[in-house]
Every structure is written in structure tokens, then in C-alpha cells.
Amino acid sequence: MEISDKRAEIAVIGLGNAGLPLAAVIADRGMAVLGVDINEERCWQINQGANPIPEEKGLGELIAQHGGRSLIATTDFEDARGCKSFIVIVPLLVDESNHPDFSIMEKALQSLGRILKKGDLVVLETTFPPGTTSGRVRRLLCESSGLAEGEFFLAYSPERIMTGYSISRLREFPKVIGGTDEESGLVAYQLYRQFISNLHLVSSASVAEMTKVMEGCYRDVNIALANELYKICQDLGVDFFEAREMACHQFCHIHLPSTGVGGHCIPVYPWFLIKEMERREAFDKCRLLHTSRIINDDMIHYWAERILLQCLRINKPLSDIKICIKGITFRAGVREFYHSRNLALAKLLCDRGLNVYVADPLLDESEVAARGFRSINPDEADLVFDPFQLSFEPGRASQD
């Protein structure tokens, strides 16, 4: 689609699971939005009024209403040259050593810098290590735009959505925003309050960055605690879930145990602080965060042993037992695999020579095969393990 509508003053850079819901919510508040993304197919769908993220509740209605109208998608940064405000929300991943990988972000910022003008506002929403917006981001934008510090406004407002519930979180959940200087914070706050109802201005971009990282660390540490307590309860013969129900009250909230922690958020953010403390040789300041990461990642080994013990109770040669893993995405109802511990568990079992199959309601046989597994009807398996319920079921094949 040729972009001819010059009304848009806001550009959202990155139309993924976080950027597209944000762009749709902005459009729904009566503001013209230009979305920029490298995915041509996604841009075409949006402009046709089709929702490329069907599992996101409420997004389909907004795209049908605003796609190709007040929300236009493009792959060309030049189409956003007339915009005055830019919201950047592209992925920040970690490499094999768990160091932040800024390569995608740097490309986006370099492209943005080429169209950035004096007096424009840039707000980052990607979760960063604290200090990134005022440091690396500002430096890249200055270098690519030729503008000096202070000639454009720069702020940070971390996305606080949950995949599948992004629209309601954007409309209801508290959101923070902070500038690299006082004026940038105020300018960004005035923009965001037009489409975010529960908005809080903080003293700096670094405080806003740390707010989001803290949340991820809190979740990771508390899930690690739940996983430890679950394993202890198993050894002691105690019903963990009954004990947890009685232990949880206004002063105590025990999280649920799991096969580990997956997704783009919780297993990633603690590493931002761990790696920074390691760089400073302050190893004693990140012990809890580091231990929690180890505990949660090692849960696949715990569950592999539990699955093996269940297999030994079946009156068949181990190599003949069909094991069904009932879901390999990182979370139920979400078609995402990033850091999926369920996928990692299935691979671990295969590596140990077990006969592993997959049944995932979100995936067809070709999608399962693309991940290196065979599909199976759970009824045809000897043992079914549901990683979301942490439950075992005997399959009909084991009863034959």
C-alpha cells in the first residue's frame, strides 16, 4: 500500500506482540498512527484490517476498525518522516552468554536517526538495562541524526503488558514514564496521557528502566522459591498446592511451580543486572538473582527424572514407551517459543534417547515437525505429561 496519509504525528517502530497492541490502542483514542515494521506480510495484513496476532484478546476488533485507516503500517522509515513523536518497541534479546544483544535495536535507531528532526520526541518501550536510554540510545540517535543532545526529546516508558491480555493491560494497568531530562519527561508524559489512563511520571529514564527490570527479577526469584518448595514437598510427602493455598495471604504470596521460566521477559531481565554486576566485579551483589536463574533453568532436569520414573512403572521396554508432552510453547495459549522450558524439556528427553512425541493444541503437525518432533494423539501415548498443569496421565497405549 502506498502511504499517502500525512495526518499521522505518531509513529510506532515495531509492530510485534507489544508494538501492535499499543499502536491499536493509540488509534482507538482517535489519533492517527503510522506503524513501521520490517515484516511486509504483517504490514499488509494490518492495512487490510486483518489481525496477525489472533490470540490477543480484543486486538482483532481494533485492527478491523482502524487498520488501513487511522492505523497504517509500512516497512519504509521514510514514510514516518513527517511524524513528530516516535515510540520504539523492537526486541532486545540475549546472546548465548546471556549478554544483551542490541543489534536489532541499533538498526532501528540508525534508521530512525536518519529522519529525526529538531524538536521531535523519541520514547523507548523495549526493556533495557538501566542507563541504556540516556547512554547507548541517546548516543546512537545523535550519531545517526547529526543532532546534538537537547535538540530532541528522549524518554523511556517500559511496556507492562502480558501476551493475550495486552489491550486490557494498556488500558488499565499502571504505566511509568521518565525522561533523560526533566523537559523530555514532561513532553513524553503529555503525549502518553492522551492514550494511557493510569500513567505515572518518574524522575528519570533510568528509574523507569529499573522499574521494569525489578518486576522481572521479583517474578523470577519467587518462581525459583516456588520450584524449590515444590521439590521439597515432593520429598516430604506434603501436598504443595494445599499448603500453598493456606500460606498465601496479604503478607505472603507463593508463586506456582513450573518447568522453568520462559518468554521474552522474566528469564531475560535478571541477566541485565547480573552481567552489569559481573562487569563491575561486584559478584556478591547478584547472588540471589544468579541462583534463581540456575534453579529455574534446571527444572527441566527435575521433570525429566520424574518422567523417567513414571516410564519405569509401565510394563514395556523403555525404548518402546511413547511419551507425549502436552504443549511446547512457553505459556499456555501463546504461540511463542522464546526460552520455552517446555520445548527444552522435550529436547532433553529426546537427547536421553526416549521416545518423545508432542500434542499441542496451538500447533498443527507441520509446526510440530518444524520443531523437530512427531505429533501424537494423547490417547495413543503410553504416558502424557502436561507441563502447564504439572500432571501425568496414563495413555491408552500403556493399558493395551
Instruction: Cite the active site residues.
Output: 212, 265
Cα 98 from chain centre: 16
Burial of 215 (0-12, 13-18, 19+ CB in 10 A): middle
Of the candidates 264, 254, 59, 256, which has an alpha carbon nearest to the alpha carbon of residue 169?
59
Q: Give the CA-trace dihedral at 181, 218, 173, 327, to 10 degrees.
A: 130
Other Cβ atoms closer than 10 A to 214? 13
DSSP per position, 193-204: TTT-SSEEE-S-
CB crowding 224-253: b at 16 or more within 10 Å, else e: bebbbbbbebeeeeeebeeebeeeeeeeee
C-alpha cell at 65: 476498525
d(CA 80, CA 238): 59
Identify the helix (H) or strand (E) that includes residue 346: helix 341-351
Burial zone of 88 (CB within 10 Å; 0-12 exposed, 13-18 middle, 19+ buried): buried
Residue 161's region, left for phi above 0, alpha for psi from -120 to 50, else beta, is: beta
